[in-house]
Amino acid sequence: MTRTPVNVTVTGAAGQIGYALLFRIASGHLLGADVPVKLRLLEIPQGVKAAEGTAMELDDCAFPLLKGIDIFDDPNKGFEGANVGLLVGARPRAKGMERGDLLEANGGIFKPQGKAINDHAADDIKVLVVGNPANTNALIAQAAAPDVPAERFTAMTRLDHNRALTQLAQKTGSSVEDIKRLTIWGNHSATQYPDIFHAEIAGKNAAEVVSDEQWLADTFIPTVAKRGAAIIEARGASSAASAANAAIDHVHTWVNGTAAGDWTSMGVPSDGSYGVPEGLISSFPVTTKDGKYEIVQGLDINEFSRARIDASVAELAEERDAVRGLGLI
C-alpha cells in the first residue's frame, strides 16, 4: 500500500540549521525509512532565493521518500496541511538589544506562526520549536493556537540531553548507549539543569558511579548548560548540525517511542508536575509511545536538584511574565 506523504513544514529553511536538517528529513531520518514526506519551506522574502537553492540540491539527491518541496514566505500557506512543524527561524539577538526587545521581536514571528498553525495545519500537527528563546517562543505560538491541543507544542532540549550523555560517557569511560534516564529540566538556557541522579550507566546509578559532587556542580552542569556559548565562541556561529540532529531525534522519538526502561528530555507544557507551574513550557523527563508523550512521574527530587530546577523554572516564569506584559500571550 502506498502511504500518504507526511507534510513537514520547516521555518528558517535557508538558515544554518535548515541546511543541516532538510536532507535528513528527506532521507527518512525524521519519521522513518518507510515514511514519504513533502517539505514545506517557510522563509522571509529575503531567504526565499537561498531556500530555492537548497530545494534544487534536495532534488539533486533523488531521495525516494521526498514527494515534493514547496517554498513560501507566508506562514498561512507554509503551514497549510502541516502534520509536523519545525519552527527553526527566529530573530537572533543583535548588538545592544535588550532581552525584552528580543522577546518582542520573536513574538512578531511566533505569534503569527502559531495562528497560522491554528487555522491551517492538519488536525494531528506536532510542533517543535528550535528557534531561541525556544521554550518561550513555543509558549507564544501555543497561546496563539487555542484550537490545537496545548501538548502538541514542544521546545527543544534534546541537544542539551545529547550533550549531557556524551559528557557523562566521557567522564565515566562508558558508551552513550549504556546511559539511560538522564534528564534536562527547565529552560534551554544557561539555567537548565542536567540531572544524573536518576540516570543509570549499564544498570548502575550514574551519580554513584561518578561519586563526585564537585565535578557535577563545577564541571558537568556548567559544561552542558554553557555548551551553546562555547560552540559559538569556537565556531564563530551557533551549533547547527548538532541542533539539526537533536531536532531529528526529538521528533523521531516523539513519533516512534522511547525504548523500554528509558526516557528522553522534551520541553513540554507543564501539568504542574514537580512543582513546575502549569502551562510553562519546561523540560521534563518524558516517555513516548504511539505519537504521545507522558511526563515521568514519581521521581524523588533531592535538595541539590530542587534548587536548580526551581532556578530554571523561575527564569521561565519571568520570560512568561515578560511576554504576557508585551501582550504576546
Ligand X SMILES: O=C(O)C[C@H](O)C(=O)O
Ligand Y SMILES: NC(=O)c1ccc[n+]([C@@H]2O[C@H](COP(=O)([O-])OP(=O)(O)OC[C@H]3O[C@@H](n4cnc5c(N)ncnc54)[C@H](O)[C@@H]3O)[C@@H](O)[C@H]2O)c1
User: Residue 164, interface with ligand Y (CB under 6 A)?
Assistant: no
Instruction: Determine contact, residues 194/183, Cβ cutoff 8 Å.
Output: yes
User: Residue 243, interface with ligand Y (CB under 6 A)?
Assistant: yes
- My answer on whether omega of the bond before 64 falls inside 30° of 0, hence cis, is no
Residue 106, all three cell numbers: 520573536
User: Residue 264, interface with ligand Y (CB under 6 A)?
Assistant: no
Binds ligand Y by CB under 6 A, chosen from 118, 174, 223, 238: 238
DSSP tag of 1: -
Minimal distance in Å, beta carbon 160 to ligand X? 7
Binds ligand X by CB under 6 A, chosen from 142, 239, 282, 312: 239
Residue 64, all three cell numbers: 525516494
Q: Which residues contact 290 (CB under 8 A, 6 or more apart)?
A: 257
Number of helices (H), then strands (E), in the chain: 12, 14
Furthest CA-CA distance within the chain: 57
Binds ligand X by CB under 6 A, chosen from 238, 257, 301, 304: 238
Nearer to ligand Y, 76 or 205 (CB): 76
Q: Which does 36 bind (CB under 5 to 8 A by kind): ligand Y, ligand X, none?
A: none
d(CA 222, CA 244): 22
Q: Is 93 annotated as a binding residue?
A: yes
User: Residue 107, interface with ligand X (CB under 6 A)?
Assistant: no
Minimal distance in Å, beta carbon 139 to ligand X? 17
DSSP-based three-state secondary structure for 123: coil
d(CA 101, CA 98): 5
Run of H or E including 166: helix 158-172
Q: Which does 130 bind (CB under 5 to 8 A by kind): ligand Y, ligand X, none?
A: ligand Y
Minimal distance in Å, beta carbon 260 to ligand X? 29
d(CA 110, CA 66): 27
Run of H or E including 247: helix 241-256
Examine the residue annotation and report whether 161 is marked as an active-site residue of this protein: no
Binds ligand X by CB under 6 A, chosen from 9, 132, 157, 305: 132
Binds ligand Y by CB under 6 A, chosen from 36, 47, 114, 186: 47
Minimal distance in Å, beta carbon 18 to ligand Y? 6
d(CA 137, CA 114): 10
Instruction: Determine contact, residues 316/135, Cβ cutoff 8 Å.
Output: yes
User: Catalytic pick from 29, 188, 198, 250?
Assistant: 188
User: Residue 165, interface with ligand X (CB under 6 A)?
Assistant: no
Q: Residue 170 is which amino acid? A: Q
Which residues have a catalytic role annotated?
A: 188
* Numbered residues of the known binding site: 12-18, 93, 99, 106, 113, 130-132, 163
Contact footprint for ligand X (CB under 6 A): 132, 159, 228, 231, 238-239, 243
* Numbered residues of the known binding site for substrate: 93, 99, 132, 163
Contact footprint for ligand Y (CB under 6 A): 11-12, 14-18, 42-44, 47, 88-90, 92, 109, 130-132, 134, 156, 159, 188, 238-240, 243
